[in-house]
Amino acid sequence: MREEQTAIRKEKKRSAIIKEALRLFATKGFYSTTIPDIARSIGMSVGNLYNYFGSKELLAQEIIRHISAYLGARIREINESDLSVQEKIRQIVGIYFRTAKMEPEMIDFFLRVYLSNREVFHEGCEGMICVNEFVTEIMIFFDDGVAKGELKNQDFFSAFGLFMGYLGGMVFLNGERILPKALDDYVEEISENIYNALKAS
């Protein structure tokens, strides 16, 4: 019982570190944020924080795994539903845009840290290892759509790049306050564009 309670406390503390690190990375920037900054912000000693994460790079890798698991779990629910492929696209776009609105630090980290600072993720996070859960669910979505004859059979990375290009581009424009409307207002239009680009002839 005591070991279980200790494990729960450690997991809560680990989650608190990740959440605060995400916030600081978003506000101060990844390279301007230090481990002492994160420790001080959550009232933890630097030494204790290092017991959870041995370096800022390892913390960054764990954060991207956390984001991948978060998005992957939500897309898995969509994949397991009986919705049409077109509706699944709308649901996935909606989840991504809502996450950008409700948990902006997550998407900001993915776009501005993970994709832009690959040297941080070179060891232990090569390729798509650290975003495996998210990418796997997108792959399952594509495979299912092709099997049902609703999506054209094409190279996965071509389809994935198109899908993520739309999502990442719109979130970036929203973050730069360029869009004339709220991000949610673009869900239908972006979903339709993605579907039209991917659907079988």
- Smallest CA-to-CA distance from 175 within 80, 110, 87 is with 110
63 and 140 fall within a common domain: yes
Per the structure, the complete domain to which residue 74 belongs is given by 55-198
Question: For the stretch 113-130, what's the b/e string if a residue is b when 16 or more beta carbons lie within 10 angstroms of its beta carbon?
Answer: bbeeeeebbeeebeeeeb
pLDDT (tens digit per residue) in 135-189: 999 999 999 999 999 999 999 999 999 999 999 999 999 989 999 999 999 999 9
The band of 126, judged by pLDDT with boundaries at 50, 70 and 90, is confident
User: Structural domain tally of the chain?
Assistant: 2
Residue 7, domain CATH: 1.10.10.60
pLDDT (tens digit per residue) in 13-39: 999 999 999 999 888 888 999 999 999
45 and 104 fall within a common domain: no
175 and 78 fall within a common domain: yes
139 and 101 fall within a common domain: yes
pLDDT (tens digit per residue) in 52-75: 999 999 999 999 999 999 999 999
50 and 70 fall within a common domain: no
6 and 42 fall within a common domain: yes
The torsion region of residue 181 among left (phi > 0), alpha (psi -120 to 50) and beta comes to: beta
Question: For the stretch 8-41, what's the b/e string if a residue is b when 16 or more beta carbons lie within 10 angstroms of its beta carbon?
Answer: eeeeebeebbbbbbbebbbeeebeebebebbbee
156 and 193 fall within a common domain: yes
Alpha helices in 148-200 (DSSP H): 156-175, 187-198
Q: Which residues is 201 bridged to in the sheet?
A: none
82 and 170 fall within a common domain: yes
86 and 28 fall within a common domain: no
43 and 133 fall within a common domain: no
123 and 136 fall within a common domain: yes
For residues 77 and 55, give the distance between their C-alpha atoms in angstroms, rounded to a whole number: 34
39 and 95 fall within a common domain: no
For residues 198 and 148, give the distance between their C-alpha atoms in angstroms, rounded to a whole number: 13
Residue 87, domain CATH: 1.10.357.10
Select from 54, 72, 90 the last residue of a domain. 54
State the CB neighbour count (10 A cutoff) for residue 182. Answer: 11
On whether the pTM is more than 0.85, the answer is yes
